[in-house]
């Protein structure tokens, strides 16, 4: 290969790597959105609102609830006229931030890119609910005795896992990664 062809080949390889990282993130996000929406369709079709089905007695149930707010039902009392546009803007900002982060992440950092796909997929899954239903379908109910963690869903789970992976990757990041 000539000296002039080497930079051009490197540029093509970089472009392929940059495209590949977006494909990875979007494929991961798509799988999560599909899994999230299928589980929510199942819950909405086969369960009554507030119905609870024990899975592990005293610890875990499937409990169908609708969350009009954000995490832990924050802003649930906000008027629907403000709530849906507010959450839509928050989702657009979050998705934009994730895409910017993906853009600035090297293709070699696969775990970080997968984590971004987790967060993106979860954010899009809950956004779909807000647009379609005006609320988010939650059904995973973890509890101990009378203490209940707020109900959540597949999208919430992947957002939490993705954020956790991003935090871990930043703690264990080295200057040699690129």
Q: What is the tens place of the pLDDT at every residue in 77-113?
A: 677 677 777 877 888 898 899 999 999 999 999 999 9
Reported as a single tens digit per residue, the pLDDT across 2-44 is: 665 555 444 545 555 689 999 999 999 999 999 999 999 999 9
Residue 80 and residue 65 in contact, taking contact as beta carbons nearer than 8 Å:
no
pLDDT for the residue numbered 177 = 46
Instruction: Over range 59-65, report the average pLDDT.
Output: 98
Catalytic residues: 138, 156
- Lowest-confidence range among 47-61, 65-79, 95-109, 124-138? 65-79
Q: What is the DSSP string of 119-156?
A: HHHHHHHHHHHHHHHSSEEEEEEEEETTEEPPPB-HHH
Torsion of CA 72, 74, 78, 84, to 10 degrees: -70
Domain regions of the chain by residue span: 5-171
Structure tokens at 169: 């990757």
pLDDT for the residue numbered 10 = 47
Instruction: Over range 156-167, report the average pLDDT.
Output: 96
């Amino acid at each position: 290969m000539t000296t002039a062809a080497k930079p051009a080949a490197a540029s093509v390889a970089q472009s392929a790597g940059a495209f590949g990282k977006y494909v990875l993130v979007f494929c991961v996000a798509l799988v999560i959105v599909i899994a999230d929406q299928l589980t929510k369709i199942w819950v909405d079709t086969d369960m009554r609102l507030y119905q609870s089905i024990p899975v592990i007695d005293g610890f875990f149930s499937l409990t169908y609830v609708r969350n009009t707010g954000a995490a832990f039902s924050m802003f649930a009392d906000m008027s629907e006229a403000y709530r849906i546009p507010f959450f839509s803007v928050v989702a657009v900002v979050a998705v934009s931030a994730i895409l910017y982060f993906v853009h600035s992440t090297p293709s070699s950092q696969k775990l970080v890119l997968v984590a971004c796909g987790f967060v993106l997929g979860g954010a899009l899954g809950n956004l779909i609910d807000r647009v379609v239903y005006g609320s988010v379908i939650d059904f995973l109910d973890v509890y101990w005795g009378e203490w209940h963690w707020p109900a959540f869903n597949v999208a919430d789970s992947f957002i939490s896992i993705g954020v956790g992976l991003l935090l871990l990757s930043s703690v264990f990041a080295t200057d040699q990664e690129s």
